[in-house]
Amino acid sequence: MAQVTKVLVGFKPKETVGRIGEWFAVTFAIALREVRSLFSSWIAYVTLAFFEIWAGFFFFAIARIGQTADMRYLFWNMAVILFIVLPMVTMRLLAEERRLGTLELLLTSPVTDWQVVLGKFLGAYYWLIVALGLTLYVPYLVHRFSGGTVDLGPYWTAYIGLLLFGAAAISVGVFWSALTDNQIIAAFATFGTLLLVYVITWPTEGTGTLAEICRKVSLYYRYQDFTAGLIQSKDVIFFLLLSLAFLYLAVQVLGSRRWR
Amino acid sequence: MIEVAGLTKFYGEVRALDDVTFSVRKGEIIGFLGPNGAGKTTTMRILTGFLSPTTGTAKVGGYDVVENSLEVRRITGYLPETVPLYNEMRVRDYLGYMARIRGVQRKRIRDRVDYAVERCGLREVADRIIGHLSKGYRQRVGVAQAIIHDPQVLILDEPTIGLDPVQVREVRQLIKDMAGERTIILSTHILPEVSMTCERVLIIHKGRIVAEDTPEGLSRRLSQSERILVRLARIPSQPLSALGKLDNVIKVEHVGDNLFAVEAPAGHDIREQLAEFIVKNGWGLLELRREEMTLEEIFVNLVTRE
User: What pLDDT is attached to residue B60?
Assistant: 92
Give the pLDDT mean for B259-275.
82
Q: Yes or no: say if A100 and B85 are a contact pair by the CB < 8 Å rule.
A: yes
Judged by a CB distance cut-off of 8 A, whether residue A42 touches chain B is: no
Distance from CA of A213 to the nearest CA of B (A): 39
Residue B272 and residue B210 share a domain: no
Contacts A105 to B, Cβ<8 Å: 78, 80, 84, 98, 145
Question: Which residue in A82, A89, A111, A99 sits closest to A223, CA to CA?
Answer: A82
In a domain, B300, yes or no: no
C-beta atoms of A258 and B51 within 8 A: yes
Amino acid at the residue B14:
V
- Percent of chain B exceeding pLDDT 70 equals 92
Pairs of residues, one from chain A and one from chain B, whose beta carbons lie less than 8 Å apart: 73
Phi, psi of B16 (to 5 degrees): -90, -30
> Are the beta carbons of A110 and B84 separated by less than 8 Å?
no
Residue A68 has pLDDT above 80, yes or no: no
For residue A212, pLDDT over 50 is answered with yes
**Structural domain of B22:** 2-220
Q: Residue A255: what pLDDT? A: 87
Chain A residue with minimum CA distance to B155: A108
Of residues A30, A100, A108, nearest to B78 (C-beta)? A108
Res. B305: pLDDT tops 50: no
> Are B77 and B96 spatial neighbours (Cβ–Cβ below 8 Å)?
no
Distance, in Å, from the CA atom of B93 to the CA atom of B114, rounded to the nearest integer, reads: 11
Residues B163 and B243 in one domain: no
Task: Chain A: give the shortest CA distance to residue B255, in Å.
Answer: 49
- Cα separation, A221 vs A212, in Å, equals 11
- Of B171, B187, B220, which residue sits at a domain end? B220
Residue of B nearest to A100 (CA): B84
Question: Is B94 within 8 Å of B144 (Cβ atoms)?
Answer: no
pLDDT computed for residue B128 by the predictor: 94
CB contact under 8 A, A102 and B89: no
Say whether A105 and B145 touch across the interface (CB within 8 A): yes
Give the domain-ending residue among B188, B220, B252: B220
Whether residue B229 is contained in a domain is answered as: yes
Q: What percent of chain B has pLDDT over 90?
A: 25
Residue A88 is predicted with a pLDDT of 93
Q: Does B10 or B301 have the greater pLDDT score? A: B10
Shared domain for B165 and B95, answered yes or no, is yes
Residues B41 and B178 in one domain: yes
Q: With CB atoms and an 8 Å threshold, state whether B51 touches A106.
A: no
Q: Is B148 part of any domain?
A: yes
Over residues A175-179, the mean pLDDT reads: 93
Q: Do B127 and B62 share a structural domain?
A: yes
Quickly state the pLDDT bin for B16 (edges 50, 70, 90). Answer: confident
Q: What CATH number is attached to the domain comprising B205?
A: 3.40.50.300
pLDDT at A215: 77
CB–CB of B78 and A260 under 8 A?
no
pLDDT class of B306 with cuts at 50, 70, 90: very low
Q: CATH no. for residue B234?
A: 3.30.70.100
In a domain, B99, yes or no: yes
Of the partner residues B73, B83, B100, the one whose CB lies closest to the CB of residue A108: B73
Asked if pLDDT for residue A221 goes beyond 60, the answer is: yes
- The confidence score (pLDDT) of residue B298 equals 57
pLDDT for position B114: 93
| DSSP H/E element including B57 | strand B55-60
Is B50 in Cβ contact with A108 (below 8 Å)?
yes
Across residues B96-103, what is the average pLDDT?
Answer: 92
B178 contacts B198 by C-beta, under 8 angstroms: no
Whether B166 and B17 map to the same domain: the answer is yes
- What is the CB-side half-sphere exposure of residue B119 using CA atoms within 13 A? 21
- Neighbouring CB atoms inside 10 A of B29's CB total 21
Q: Which of A215, A207, A214, A168 is nearest to A190 (CA)?
A: A168
Tally of domains in chain B: 2
Identify whether B301 is part of a domain.
no
Q: Residue ranges of the alpha helices (H) in chain B?
A: 40-47, 69-74, 91-101, 109-119, 135-147, 165-178, 191-197, 215-222, 239-244, 271-281, 295-305
Mean pLDDT, residues B190-219: 79
Whether A198 has a pLDDT exceeding 50, the answer reads: yes
Report residue B83: phi and psi, to 5°: -55, 115
Angle at B231 between CA B273 and CA B279, to 5 degrees: 40
What percent of chain A has a predicted confidence (pLDDT) above 90? 47
Alpha-carbon distance A220 to nearest alpha carbon in chain B (angstroms): 38
**C-alpha neighbours within 13 Å on the C-beta side of residue B125:** 22
Instruction: Summarize the confidence of residues B130-143 as an average pLDDT.
Output: 89
B71 to chain A: which residues are within 8 Å by CB?
A: 110
- The model's confidence at residue A188, banded by pLDDT at 50, 70 and 90, is very high
pLDDT tens digits, residue range A106-132?
999 999 999 999 999 999 999 999 999
Please check whether residue A39 touches B, CB under 8 A.
Answer: no
The neighbouring-strand residues paired with B90 are B129
- What confidence category does residue B95 fall into, taking pLDDT thresholds of 50, 70 and 90? very high
Q: How does strand B2-11 pair with strand B55-60?
A: antiparallel
pLDDT band of A173, cuts 50, 70, 90: very high
Q: Say if CB B141 and CB B95 are below 8 A apart.
A: yes
Structural domain ending residue among the three candidates B157, B186, B220: B220
Instruction: Quote the minimal CA–CA distance from A8 to chain B in Å.
Output: 23
Same domain, B202 and B243: no
Question: A71 or A202, which is more confident?
Answer: A71
Q: Which of B288, B285, B289, B281 is nearest to B237 (CA)?
A: B281
Confidence of residue B223 (pLDDT cuts 50, 70, 90): low
Average pLDDT, chain B: 84
Residues B158, B49 within the same domain: yes
Distance CA B120, CA B128 (A): 15
CB contact (8 A) between residue B103 and residue A110: yes
> Coil, strand or helix: which one is B259?
strand
Please indicate, yes or no, if residue B306 is contained in any of the structural domains. no
Whether B74 sits inside 8 A of A26 (CB atoms) is: no
Cα separation, A251 vs B74, whole angstroms: 20
Q: Which of A30-44, B58-72, B98-112, B199-213 has the lowest mean pLDDT?
A: B199-213
If you measure CA to CA, which chain A residue comes closest to B54?
A259
Task: Tell me, yes or no, whether B55 and B92 share the same domain.
Answer: yes
Asked whether the beta carbons of residue B102 and residue A109 sit closer than 8 angstroms, the reply is yes
Whether residues B135 and B172 fall in one domain:
yes
Distances from the Cα of A102 to the Cαs of A3, A7, B85, B135, in angstroms? 39, 37, 6, 17
Q: Which residues pair with B260 in a beta bridge?
A: B230, B254
Residue A175: per-residue pLDDT? 95
Residue B247 counted as domain residue: yes
- Looking at residue B124, the DSSP 8-state letter turns out to be G
Q: Which of B230-234, B247-251, B295-299 shows the lowest mean pLDDT across its residues?
A: B295-299
**pLDDT of the residue at A159:** 94
The C-alpha atoms of residue A219 and residue B186 are separated, in whole angstroms, by 52
d(CA A102, CA B226): 48
- Judge whether residue A5 has pLDDT over 60: no
Regarding whether B212 and B249 lie in a shared domain, the answer is no
Where does the pLDDT of residue A3 fall: very low under 50, low under 70, confident under 90, or very high at 90 and above? low
Least trusted range by pLDDT, from A25-39, B84-98, B279-293? B279-293
Phi, psi of B214 (to 5 degrees): -75, 155
Over 70: is that where the pLDDT of A8 sits?
Answer: no
B119/B149 same-domain check? yes
Which chain B residues are closer than 8 Å to A26 by Cβ? 100-101, 103
The answer to whether A104 contacts B86, with C-beta atoms less than 8 Å apart, is no
| Residue in A with minimal Cα distance to B70 | A110
B chain contacts of residue A256, beta-carbon cutoff 8 Å: none
Residue B97's φ and ψ, nearest 5 degrees, are -65, -45
> CB B86 to CB A33 under 8 A?
yes
